[in-house]
Structure 1
Amino acid sequence: MPEFIIQIDFTDRPGLGYEIFKITENNGIDKIAMEVLPKHGMVIQFQCALDEQVQKLVADLKALNNITAVTFRNQMPYQEKEHELRTILDSVSEGVLAIDKDGKISHINEVACNIFNCLPEEVKGLGVEKVLGENTPVLETLRLGNPCRLKERKIRKDGKTIQFLTSSVPVKNDQGRIIGVVSTIQDFYQVEKVILQADKRRQLITFDDIVHQSRQMTQLITAARTVAKSASTVLLRGESGTGKELFATAIHTNSLRCRNQFIAINCTALTDTLLESELFGYEEGAFTGAAKGGKQGLFEQANGGTLFLDEVGDISPRLQVQLLRVLQEGTIRRVGGSKEIAVDVRIIAATHRNLEEMISSGQFREDLYYRLNVIPLRILPLRERKEDIPLLAQHLIRKICKKLNKPEVYLSKESLELFMVQDWPGNVRQLENTLERLINLTDAAEIQPEHIFAWTDITNVNNSIKTTLGKQQAFQVEIPLEGEWPQLKDIVASVEKEVISQVLKKYPSSRQAGQVLGVSNTTILNKIHAYKI
């Protein structure tokens, strides 16, 4: 029997729903499904043998008071949403599985079906372990709510090994209860085809592209320009977001290797096995799925050029041994191979970790540390070079506005002062993210403090600074019990010196200290000189 779907739009009134159902019954309609729309409407799916009967139903419904429209639809709203969700899931480059609260698969996209060689109808409703294997970390996420990231898994299916990376996050309802899990799947060896392509194509930058005006950064860049000309290993130290990769790229561009490859890899972004095959390559047949003829690793690809190992402090002890061997011998051995391959690669490594503490606790090899730490360069956190903030902020604003296709905006004087007294634990990356959020959410040509307070977690630190200073212990001046009293100007000078000294401990630049104390940076500089602080 033919099926029809009609949408009924109306302005609500008491009893209208009852009248609609009465008309469907009077016309002998066999209802299959019904869905209420959020804005005064409903959709009915039904079976009917005669077109004339359908037309009479529509005419009877239109005759009702408060009915504004009766139209035919191709799908029920829930079917349209299902189709939209399926289209979205199939458009992403990773495999996606949705798991319900009972651990059964409710959705699976095309990429996941291709990875596991299955059809959606074959696996929907099955327990997730039937597809992802026993003891899958997805079940731990469902049970405890702990997300997992890039867990390496192997399963056997139809006599073949499927190796993949899985990540999962819990889905919670409004009460915070876990009602399911979404898991993303990446084919282990397909990752190799896309990894680092952006790094290889990047436009290399120079030291002139590093925005700064502070004396400390000028000194650092001068030193980096000098060491760039050598072939020695460089270790960049600094907190996350300080621009270590920016310096690594500039060092390569200023080196004698600038015409050859600069390849960067983040050592925390890959599992131990995948990082090994990426760095050293592999021979044909080294593992199931290995490319025919094998594959060059990054050491071979960067031959004659520079390899940047970001977050080198996070590599496993096993890979530390292999990296040490490359630095000592200048040769690598592919995974599954026995041949020694000579490579001429300059290593620039970077880490935010305290390698010295890691050596003490046995997490990092001391001999590798000395091989990497030939030329150490410390990239200063933003709080130690706040003089750079005005220039850096406007440079970032210009870059963000261009990306968002918006006219360039500016920071007001008060907003800039507010930025200058922040500690910026996320450094330049945090500053850029904060500015991008403000530019997205603010239409004003000039960003004012009220915009900052409304859209960021920055507070009026000037008041808190003054409150903190007020709570510190009172500054005392020793007054002799006998003999002459010091002159008033000497008492004032003693207290003034102590106040400035205390402020400079927390806010080490004259500009910052001047802002806190309400005087110019010139005044602070003069006082520092006069009191020999």
Structure 2
Amino acid sequence: MREYVIQIDFVDRPGLGYEIFKLTEQNAIDKIAMEVLPEHGMVIKFRCDLDSKAQSLINDISLVTGVKAVKYRDQMPCEEREAELKTILNSVGEGILAVDKDGKITHINEVACRIFQCDPLVLIGLGVETLLDDKHPILDTLKSGKTYRLKEGRINKKGRSIRYLTSGEPVINAKGQIIGAVATITDFRQVEAIISKVDKIRHLTTFDEIVFQSDKMRQLIGAARTVAKSSSTVLLRGESGTGKELFASALHTEGPRHQAPFIAVNCTALPDSLLESELFGYEEGAFTGAVKSGKKGLFEQANGGTLFLDEIGELPPQVQARLLRVLQEGTIRRVGGGNEMRVDVRIIAATHRNLEEMVRNGEFREDLYYRLNVIPLTIPPLRERKEDIFLISQRLIRKICTKLNKPEIRLARESIEALMNQEWPGNIRQLENTLERVINLIDATEIQPHHLSVWADIGTTSNGGVKNALPRKNIVQLEIPCEGKGARLKDIVAEVEKEIITRVLEKYPSSRLAGQMLGVSNTTILNKMRSYGL
């Protein structure tokens, strides 16, 4: 028996489908599947023993009133979509694993199969615990709808331990129901190789490349140029997106260590166990899956140069203790090792957190805080140096147009005023994303205010100007209890969150737009709406 797929295009009329299916019965056709097309058509998959019988069916259907055309297809539309999805998944550099609401594996790409040394044909339809284990975080995501990020996992396969990192997201339908989950899988050895690689040829910023005209920045850069000449520890403070890594790079480039390595690591980008071994290295046999000869840590790789520790406020307690020892003694000890090694590394740390408050709350070591806070430099947010926005925007537009291979675009005078009137809570990073979005979506030589209003979530005033889409202040006014038993902090925070989401949804009535305005995913907004009964 051979299988055939035919597409039937028709003018819709009552009873047409019934007539077509009656013909399949009269021709003794074994129907396998049927799919309706959006534009007045259907695709039928069937099997029969002779080509002549299939052709006879096509001839009979062609004579039905309303049928415009009948033709063969290679696959059902759903099979074509599945093939396209498979191609997309296999083109991704990470492993992808998808499960349905019951935890059954629906998709697994080639990278994940290589990592887990498994056969997809055997796994599809089986419970995810048959491949991983019954405590894998993707199962919790199916129940709670919560995402997870960079969790370490381990399975034993053919007498070998396979170590990997995984992040996961729930799949939520339009009704807010969890219908599945997707996990990314990264081989632990691949992560180590990427982190440990020092890019010797990457461009490092100098202070001359930081554009500004405000007095605040002029004073800051003047002080930073002086600080760059020493080897003292620097603590860069500032909100997210203000350019702390650029400053760290410039401090290194204009200092006496500029010919030695500059290595940057984000302390939030790795799980605790990996962060410690990456910073300090490890000896042979320190843990299962460790490289036989051991491995240099980032401190050893940066010896003689600079190590930039971004988001230092996120360091776990055990790493805080080890970092303090490096700052005090100038020595490190590899994980699993017993020998002290002397290193000569300048530390530049950065954070947007309130370290002083973290010290008071016992979340950050006081002695480490004082060791890091030798030379504090605070980068002001954009809203405190609005006169810099025009110069920064020009530099960003040139960079974005080069990246997108587009002719350089100008800013209209009114658009400059509009950008300068924004609060920019995400600072330069938010400004860059906004400009890139607009430049991608317009076909003009000049950015006008209406482009910002339509494409950049910047609201328009009654006189045609542009205003903030979401004010930073006075979103919610709270009554704080002064007597008796006060409300719990958790309840107060929840009430504020509910009010903010409610007000944003009034203006942006979709989870996607509301999520963009608040800097979170639409899944987070949907979960919050469900939680607060919105």
TM range, smaller chain: 0.7 to 0.9
Aligned AA for 1:452? L
Q: Contact (CA 8 Å) 1:349, 1:372: kept in 2 or not? A: yes
TM alignment of 1:63-462, pairs within 5 A:
63-195=63-195, 197=197, 200-460=200-460
In the aligned structure 2, how far is the partner of 1:430 from the partner of 1:187? 32
Q: Give the aligned length.
A: 467
In the aligned structure 2, how far is the partner of 1:458 from the partner of 1:48? 61
Aligned AA for 1:172? I
Q: CA deviation at 1:207?
A: 0.9
Which deviates more from structure 2 when the two are superposed, residues 160-169 or residues 395-404?
160-169
In the aligned structure 1, how far is the partner of 2:210 from the partner of 2:382? 13
Q: CA deviation at 1:56?
A: 2.4
Q: Contact (CA 8 Å) 1:138, 1:181: kept in 2 or not? A: yes
Instruction: Note the aligned Cα RMSD (angstroms).
Output: 2.2
Percent identity among equivalent residues?
A: 67
Give the secondary structure class of the aligned counterpart of 1:348: strand
Q: Deviations over 1:110-163 (max 9, x none)?
A: 222222232223322222233332322222211121111112233444444332
In the aligned structure 2, how far is the partner of 1:170 from the partner of 1:41? 34
In the aligned structure 2, how far is the partner of 1:87 from the partner of 1:285? 39
Q: Contact (CA 8 Å) 1:151, 1:166: kept in 2 or not? A: yes
Aligned AA for 1:369? Y
Structure with bigger gyration radius: 1
- TM-score (norm: length of structure 2): 0.83
Aligned AA for 2:381? P
Aligned AA for 1:326? V
Q: 1:481 matched to which residue of 2?
A: none
Give the secondary structure class of the aligned counterpart of 1:189: helix
Q: Contact (CA 8 Å) 2:422, 2:467: kept in 1 or not? A: no
Q: 2:43 matched to which residue of 1?
A: 43
Aligned AA for 1:350? A
Aligned AA for 1:54? A
Gaps of 5+ in 1: 469-533
Q: CA deviation at 1:433?
A: 1.1
Give the secondary structure class of the aligned counterpart of 1:55: helix
Q: CA deviation at 1:343?
A: 1.4
In the aligned structure 1, how far is the partner of 2:434 from the partner of 2:157? 48
Q: Contact (CA 8 Å) 1:199, 1:264: kept in 2 or not? A: no
In the aligned structure 1, how far is the partner of 2:287 from the partner of 2:200? 26
Give the secondary structure class of the aligned counterpart of 1:13: coil
Gaps of 5+ in 2: 472-534
In the aligned structure 2, how far is the partner of 1:334 from the partner of 1:464? 54
In the aligned structure 2, how far is the partner of 1:307 from the partner of 1:61? 73
Q: CA deviation at 1:386?
A: 0.8
Q: 1:499 matched to which residue of 2?
A: none
Q: Contact (CA 8 Å) 2:150, 2:165: kept in 1 or not? A: yes
Q: Contact (CA 8 Å) 2:418, 2:467: kept in 1 or not? A: no
Q: Contact (CA 8 Å) 1:418, 1:460: kept in 2 or not? A: no
Aligned AA for 2:9? D
Give the secondary structure class of the aligned counterpart of 2:189: coil
Q: Deviations over 1:302-334 (max 9, x none)?
A: 111111111111101100111111112222111
Q: CA deviation at 1:262?
A: 0.9
Q: Deviations over 1:347-400 (max 9, x none)?
A: 111111111111111111122112211211111111111110111111111111
- Using a 3 Å threshold, how does the CA distance of structure 1 residues 426 and 181 change in structure 2: closer, same or farther? same
Q: 1:486 matched to which residue of 2?
A: none
Q: CA deviation at 1:109?
A: 1.7
In the aligned structure 2, how far is the partner of 1:209 from the partner of 1:196? 27
In the aligned structure 1, how far is the partner of 2:331 from the partner of 2:15? 84
In the aligned structure 2, how far is the partner of 1:463 from the partner of 1:236? 33
In the aligned structure 2, how far is the partner of 1:172 from the partner of 1:286? 41
Q: Contact (CA 8 Å) 2:23, 2:60: kept in 1 or not? A: yes
Q: CA deviation at 1:244?
A: 0.4
- TM-score (norm: length of structure 1): 0.83
- Using a 3 Å threshold, how does the CA distance of structure 1 residues 183 and 463 change in structure 2: closer, same or farther? closer
Aligned AA for 1:21? F
Which deviates more from structure 2 when the two are superposed, residues 122-131 or residues 382-391?
122-131
In the aligned structure 2, how far is the partner of 1:100 from the partner of 1:373? 49
Give the secondary structure class of the aligned counterpart of 2:221: helix
